Amino acid sequence: MPRLSALIRSASDPATPALGSWDVAGVAAHLSHAFDVVPALTTPDAAALIDDLWDLAQLTVAWVDRDEERDLAVLAERIDTRAEAFLAAVDGRADASFPWIVEGHEVPLTVLVCHLLNETLVHGHDIAVAAGLDWKIEPRHAALVVEGFLVPILARLDPSSLVQPSGDARFRARYDIRLRGAGRFGVVLRDGGATVVPSLEGRADCHLSVDPTGFLLVLWGRRSQWHALRRGQLLAWGRRPWVGLQLRSRLRTP
C-alpha cells in the first residue's frame, strides 16, 4: 500500500472536501479503519459486524466521527502498519475461509484482499480528485476488484438487497458483462432483485464490453456512465442493447 500512503502524505490540506460530509482527512481515517476491520476478520475470534449490508454506511460514518485523528502523516502510517501486519498474519493461509463483515457470509482470503484493494483504489481516487493529485487505476487492478470482490460478494447477497427499492419490480433484463482483458459474468434483473451468475453468454438480452477501470468508477458512482460511454469504456449490443443504459440506475450500492 505504499502508493496509497504516499498519496495521503502528499495532500496539502486535510480539510479539503472529498466525499459527502468527509474531507480528505475523513476519507483517510475511513481507509485506516478498513485496514483495521477487514484484517480483523482473519483472527481466531473474528465475527461479522452487521446483520444488514445497508447498516454499513451509518457504521463507517460513526467511526470517522469518533476518530479525532486528522494528521495525514499519522493516518498514512497507520495504514502502512496495519497493511504490513495483515500480510504477515495471512501468509500461508490462502486456502482458509473467513467471515465477511455481513452476518452469514464466509469468504476466501482472496475476497478480503480484493476488498482492501477496492477501498484503496476507490478512496484513493476520492482523495486524489479532491487534492488535485494523480491517481491512476490500472485496468488489471480494477478487474481484480470486480472479479475478486464485487462478483463473489454480490453473488452471496440477497437479490432484493441489490436493487433500488423504488425501481419497477416488473423490469427484466439479462446482462452478459465482459471485462476487457479479463473475465466475464452475468447479471439477471427480475422480480425486483438482481442475481449475479458466472456467465449468460447467448442467453443475454444485452452484452456489455467494459473497461474495468471505467466500470468500477461507474459502479461506485465516481463517474457517470455518459462520461464512460463518450470515452469508449462501455459498449452495448444484443437483442436489447438499450437496457444497458438502465443497469447502473437500477443497482444499489452501499
- The span from the first CA to the last CA of the chain, in angstroms, equals 24
| pLDDT > 90? residue 103 | yes
- CATH fit for domain 160-250, picks 2.40.30.10, 3.30.1050.10, 3.40.50.1000, 3.40.50.720: 3.30.1050.10
Hunting for cell 472479479 — which residue is that?
147
Report the alpha-carbon distance of residue 219 to residue 103 in Å, rounded: 24
| pLDDT > 80? residue 85 | yes
- Whole-model pTM? 0.96
Q: Which residues contact 20 (CB under 8 A, 6 or more apart)?
A: none
Specify whether the CB–CB gap between 9 and 15 falls below 8 A.
no
Q: Per residue in 188-229, pLDDT tens?
A: 999 999 999 988 867 899 999 999 999 999 999 999 999 999
Report the alpha-carbon distance of residue 161 to residue 80 in Å, rounded: 34
Q: Per residue in 148-176, pLDDT tens?
A: 999 999 999 999 999 988 778 899 999 99
Report which of residues 2 and 81 the model is more confident about: 81
54-62: average pLDDT:
95
- DSSP collapsed to 3 states, the chain: CHHHHHHHHHCCCCCCEEECCEEHHHHHHHHHHHHHHHHHCCCCCCCCCECCHHHHHHHHHHHHHHCCCCCHHHHHHHHHHHHHHHHHHHCCCCCCEEECCECCCEEEHHHHHHHHHHHHHHHHHHHHHHHCCCCCCCHHHHHHHHHHHHHHHHHHCCHHHHECCCCCCCCCEEEEEEECCCCEEEEEEECCEEEEECCCHHHCCEEEEECHHHHHHHHCCCCCHHHHHHCCCEEEECCCHHHHHHHHHHECCC
Q: What is the pLDDT of residue 83?
A: 96
Report the alpha-carbon distance of residue 185 to residue 143 in Å, rounded: 12
| pLDDT > 90? residue 16 | yes
- Per-residue pLDDT band for 108 (boundaries 50, 70, 90) equals very high
If you average pLDDT over every residue of the chain, what do you get? 95
60-72: average pLDDT:
97
Report the alpha-carbon distance of residue 252 to residue 193 in Å, rounded: 11
Q: What residue spans define the domains of the chain?
A: 2-136, 160-250
| pLDDT > 90? residue 1 | no
106-132: average pLDDT:
97
The residue among 102, 99, 25, 100 whose CA lies nearest residue 56 is 102
User: Does the fold of domain 160-250 match that of domain 2-136?
Assistant: no
Beta-carbon count within 10 A of 138 CB = 11
Find the range with the poorest average confidence among 93-97, 143-147, 242-246. 93-97
Specify whether the CB–CB gap between 156 and 146 falls below 8 A.
no
Report the alpha-carbon distance of residue 154 to residue 252 in Å, rounded: 11
Q: What is the pLDDT of residue 42?
A: 95
Q: What is the pLDDT of residue 104?
A: 92
Q: For 2-136, CATH number?
A: 1.20.120
